[in-house]
Amino acid sequence: MCGIVGYIGNNNCVPILIEGLKRLEYRGYDSAGIGIIDKNVSIIEKYKGKVSILEDNVYKKKLSATLGIGHTRWATHGEPNKINAHPHQNNDKDLFLIHNGIIENYQILKELLAKKGYKFYSQTDTEVLANLIDFHFKKTKDLFEGVRVALNEVEGAYGIAVISKKEPDKIVVAKKGSPLVIGVGRNENYIASDVNALIAHTSRVVYLEDDEVALITKDGFKARTIANHKLDKTIEEITVSADEITKGGYQHYMLKEIMEQPESVRNSLRGRLLEKEGISKLGGLQGFEDRIAQSDRIIISACGTSWHAALVGEYMIEEYAGIPVEVEYASEFRYRNPIINPNDTIFFISQSGETADTLAALKEAKKKGALVLGICNVVGSSIARASEAGVYIHAGPEIGVASTKAFTAQLSVLALITILLARKRRMSHMDGRKLVKEMDLIPDKIAKILTLNKKIEKLAEKFVNATNFLYLGRGYNFPVALEGALKLKEISYIHAEGYPAAEMKHGPIALIDENMPVVFIAPLDAVHEKVLSNIQEVKARKGKVIVIANELDKKVDKMADHVIKIPSTCPLLAPILNVIPLQLLAYHIAVKKGLNVDQPRNLAKSVTVE
């Protein structure tokens, strides 16, 4: 989604803003712009397209200023073009505003402002907000107050930053629903929608909470609530390093993140497995373990890839811990008036910790009195902070829009939670030890699968021109089929569907002919024979069969057109391994089609609007 950066200090802000925007480009990228103010000069530069277009133009013009804000946009109101790009200005063109989110009552505000003589030149809700702030700024004669008072009239979600030529020594920021972080430096300060834009400059940050507004100067900051209560914000240290967000020699972030999985999964497990006792230890859930284990029901809610992880979690927890689990899309959960009892536990899974639907669902669940827990990657993110307790997956920064290493780390954490609950309920010490031992082997098994990269790249060549794909799996591997299909459609724009293999005969089988590639996830497990029968059904209709199978599986070789053999593990952990060839297959098909896999069209890494 949109990215926000800002700088105030003694240095030229332009390269700082451009660099920050590049680090945020993965969030949204249909247009980009900066607004800068220095003494009597105020300039806006904005362009349709990537940050590099903005960069070329501002460097050519040799712009310089000590105060500025920048934005990458992912269109919500109005098509992506130069006019709709941010920053937006008031009619007097002396106030600049960048905004992430949606102002829901912007039509009403627009009409009210139009009656007062304001004119509008773009289709955006942001321009309405710029003029609303202008209106109150003129009345209060104070930028901070103008913003604060204006926001009392606004409904919707926002992370905003405002600067004005009339008060050129400050940035005013505010947050409701969309993330906003202040980066604290020495005689200079920064703002951003994501710590990734700050880490090159400072590790000291202040997270704004909803309904908070802050005034930032080069020497400090102060914050109040929108209702005007004074706040004492604490400065926190972040641990992500600048190295962690580079491509590290890979052609794309996505490939780097796929290749990092032995390490990222190891990090998600580190210090959390006690082999002798056959249990797992999750510091973030300390004090809540018994309550979770005694829950009448567990609900897991999430979006996208995280929702697929939740589905695997359902199979894991029901089978091993014997607690009923329901999985629900956060976007449905939030508007459905779901039945939630005080003895329910609800996990919210989110890589970014900022997904608007997931955050809203969490708030709804909290209101209803359930125990609300987060499973997040980004430390200090909104969902992590709004949860009563939770577990970080420790996958490290994920920049590629298509989620890969976060998925396997989410599955690892769900397996840890499963062991924790199962051992408190019905899993024996011996079984616990076996499972813990097996989990320990997973990173090395992933490393082994990654050695198949070249083979999978070759296989990808054969399917570059496919227009459809089916992904089929059963049990734990049905969600893996969904995830494999999602990876392919996200980055290659090939239509792909995931199905439980046995459901194929109830519809999708009609699609199968010699042009339909069908990917089967068929490890040696309890339903293996059944999946082999499904493979036969596809072959009988001339479909092209690709199978993800285990090394010891001999039968499958005769049936499939292409087999990718990977190590085996216990069924509960198999999705962590089985998804890896599917990530690589999607990646190589997209690269061979000449597509930008890190920034696929229309998608955003972190969807902070509804």
Binding site for ligand G6P (CB under 6 A): 303-306, 350-352, 355, 358, 401-403, 603, 605-607
CA–CA dist 208, 215 (Å, integer)? 11
SS (H, E, C) 322-337: CCCEEEEEHHHHCCCC
CA–CA dist 295, 229 (Å, integer)? 38
Catalytic residue among 22, 48, 405, 605: 605
Catalytic residue among 2, 13, 303, 376: 2
**31/305 with CB nearer ligand G6P:** 305
**199/401 with CB nearer ligand G6P:** 401
Task: Output the smallest distance, CB 375 to ligand G6P, in A.
Answer: 9
Pair 293, 397: CB distance under 8 Å: no
274: its two tokens: 């006690």
Task: Output the smallest distance, CB 113 to ligand G6P, in A.
Answer: 33
Task: Output the smallest distance, CB 378 to ligand G6P, in A.
Answer: 8
For residue 391, which of 428, 451, 345 has the smallest C-alpha distance? 345
Report which residue's Cβ sits closest to ligand G6P: 304
- Report how far apart, in Å, the C-alpha atoms of 317 and of each of 194, 312, 413, 574 are: 33, 9, 12, 15
485: its two tokens: 């299909």
376: annotated active-site residue:
no
**99/405 with CB nearer ligand G6P:** 405
Residue at token pair 């939770």: 390
Task: Output the smallest distance, CB 401 to ligand G6P, in A.
Answer: 5
CA–CA dist 376, 403 (Å, integer)? 13
Classify 264 as helix, strand or coil: helix
Pair 507, 498: CB distance under 8 Å: no
Task: Output the smallest distance, CB 81 to ligand G6P, in A.
Answer: 23
**308/562 with CB nearer ligand G6P:** 308
**18/310 with CB nearer ligand G6P:** 310
**143/480 with CB nearer ligand G6P:** 480
CA–CA dist 197, 245 (Å, integer)? 10
CA–CA dist 325, 281 (Å, integer)? 21
Task: Output the smallest distance, CB 384 to ligand G6P, in A.
Answer: 11
Question: E strand or H helix at 438, and its extent?
Answer: helix 429-450
605: annotated active-site residue:
yes
For residue 409, which of 392, 391, 393 has the smallest C-alpha distance? 393
Residue positions annotated with a catalytic role: 2, 605
